[in-house]
Chain A
Amino acid sequence: MPPIVHVRGLSKRFTVHKKAPGLRGSVRALFVRDKLVKDAVRGVSFEVGEGEIVGLVGANGAGKTTIVKMLAGIIHPTSGQARVLGHDPWKRHNDFRRQIALIMGQKAQLWWDLPAADCFLVLKEIYRIPADRYRRTLDYLADVLNIGDELNVQIRRLSLGERMKMELIAALLHTPKVVYLDEPTIGLDLSAQRAIRGFILEYRERHAPAMLLTSHYMEDIERLCERILIMREGEIVYDGRLDQVVRKHAGYKVLTIHLQEQVQGVCETPELAAVGEVQECNEELIRLHVPRREAATAAAHLLASYPVADLTLEEPEIGDIIERIMAAQKGAPA
């Protein structure tokens, strides 16, 4: 079976015309336009299959949203190819549009001044969903997301979490085969994040769509994706299973200690380097990456050796893991 999303050498260059402020700038802009060129996406290739949730991660500005926009047909690529369900997304064929969904945490799609119930009815007509199927799907979706009376409240009056749930329902009413989720949990509290993650998994279970998910939260990626794409400056620098990444690159924890008093030359003591990789060190604070399995021993060792005021042991940030992979990519292959 061919993959549902198939991308080859896809690139997007944005050209921005700089405009100097003020009237003089405006007049000048009529004659000479200073161009600013930005290669947001550079020759990426990847595939997403049926029932697969692929995580797209990378720093701000890495090009994640730009990829999603191209695959949803919102913007035209500068070069390269993408086939989604056998269509060129930017031709915006109705057959294509009836089978996809786009959910953006940063941008509402629903009509702000209508209650969700009305928005859904409009969508029912847009997607021509038969009445009984519409009823069943809506009941089911509202039930899983625990939505009740909020259906009759104007979208603009809902909390961010409630609004996001409505956006999800709206996007899935027509049971799309391809779902793009761009930062779906951004800004949500933990319980809303959890609800949405559970919901996405449940939807996958039932309908096995191809999903592409971008998120800043490691938790989202960990819970939802088996495979991730790591982007840096428009390029994909890692395409592989998530457990490989975590095993290879996040086999450590972050250990931070604050010292009770300044200790002269603490950073030069050989014990530190024996315990882990020193990330940051001064006379009051030490931060180390210690191997996951030896974290407890390392902590005990440091407690015994130094006048420790406070000690914390944390999971590494996804950003750090990404940083490490990119560093490895530049030097030797990961």
Chain B
Amino acid sequence: MSPRLFLHVLSVETRKLMSYRVEFWLNTAVGFLAQFGAIYFLWKAMFAESEHSIIGGYSFDEMLLYYVSAILLTKLVRGRERESALSQEIYEGSYTRYIIYPTSFFRYKYAQHLGALAPASVQVMVFGAAAAVAIGPRTLETISMTSVAMTMVIVAIANLLHFVMKAPVEGVAFWADNVWSLDVMLRFIIGILGGAMLPLDLYPTWAQELLVWLPFQYITYFPVRVLVGEVGGIDFAIGVAIALFWTAVFAGVVRIVWKRGDLQYTGVGI
């Protein structure tokens, strides 16, 4: 696939999403507010209940910052999943076009996936700024130019990692009638073990030590900690290496699944 084609697909996708204005702004704003509200009241109650001002090393404001960062960064990592659902193409038989056209299915889909990120980044910046005002600027002091730059690197890697982690599950569509439940399960596991539900600091030490070596926390927890300036140079390099390692592993799994899936594919619906 030529870089030109890659960029072209990316820009077409971006323009397409930008054209859904109502959905783009209204729905995402409502979704974001609902998530933020739920977390705000939940943790307010938790802090009141526990009578401590620090839980798992987080003050209330730090906890809010954690979740806001987690929600926004995860949005960048996941992109718009609906748009690039690989299983959908298989079920609808539109996977056929990537067999007919001289192009690579995965590169095409990844370009599309990245295309969805440009508008998502705009949203993340707008919502991020709004949330920063709400939480109060004092909490943001640890965020620096360096930490933001490092976050961009790890988010880019996390994005690819998440894509290849999901792809084998999507590929089950070659054999099974429904991959939706598997998708939900994977999402749940990534949410729990990746730090989107709870900061991993609240888990037992042995679990935290184990999770460092697994892929999940590089989706949410690690990028958030990089953003708030808690990850030093060496730890960052190690984290990046582990995330890249898992990306390579899953890319290998994707290859195998698709090689076998291709033999199964009959282009249903034609």
Interface residues of A (CB under 8 A from B): 14, 65, 69, 72-76, 92, 94, 97-98, 100-102, 104, 106-110, 113-114, 118, 121-123, 125-128, 182
Cα separation A74 to B96 with both chains bound (whole Å): 7
- B1 to nearest A CB, angstroms? 8
Cα separation A247 to B103 with both chains bound (whole Å): 46
Say whether B101 faces chain A, with CB atoms less than 8 Å apart. yes
Say whether B255 faces chain A, with CB atoms less than 8 Å apart. no
Say whether B266 faces chain A, with CB atoms less than 8 Å apart. yes
* B265 contacts A74, C-beta separation under 8 Å: yes
Interface residues of B (CB under 8 A from A): 2, 4-5, 8-9, 12, 16, 93-94, 96-97, 99-103, 263, 265-267, 269-270
* B2 contacts A128, C-beta separation under 8 Å: yes
Q: Please, could you name 14 A-B residue pairs with CB atoms under 8 Å apart, sorted by A? A: A72-B99, A74-B96, A74-B99, A75-B266, A75-B267, A76-B263, A104-B270, A106-B269, A107-B270, A122-B5, A125-B8, A126-B101, A126-B103, A182-B270
In the complex where A114-B16, A125-B4 touch, is A75 in contact with B265 (Cβ < 8 A)? Answer: yes
* A107 contacts B96, C-beta separation under 8 Å: yes
Closest to B100 in A: A102
* B100 contacts A107, C-beta separation under 8 Å: no
Contact among A65, A106, A108, A123 with B101 in the assembled complex (CB-CB below 8 Å): A123
- B11 to nearest A CB, angstroms? 10
Cα separation A109 to B8 with both chains bound (whole Å): 18
- B93 to nearest A CB, angstroms? 6
* B270 contacts A69, C-beta separation under 8 Å: yes
* B266 contacts A69, C-beta separation under 8 Å: yes
Kindly list chain B residues whose C-beta atoms are within 8 Å of the C-beta of A97. Answer: 100-102
* A127 contacts B266, C-beta separation under 8 Å: no
- B224 to nearest A CB, angstroms? 33
Given contacts A72-B100, A125-B5, 10 further A-B contacts (CB under 8 A): A73-B99, A73-B100, A74-B267, A75-B266, A92-B99, A98-B102, A123-B101, A127-B102, A128-B2, A182-B270
- A114 to nearest B CB, angstroms? 6
Closest to A101 in B: B100
Cα separation A114 to B112 with both chains bound (whole Å): 13
* B266 contacts A109, C-beta separation under 8 Å: no
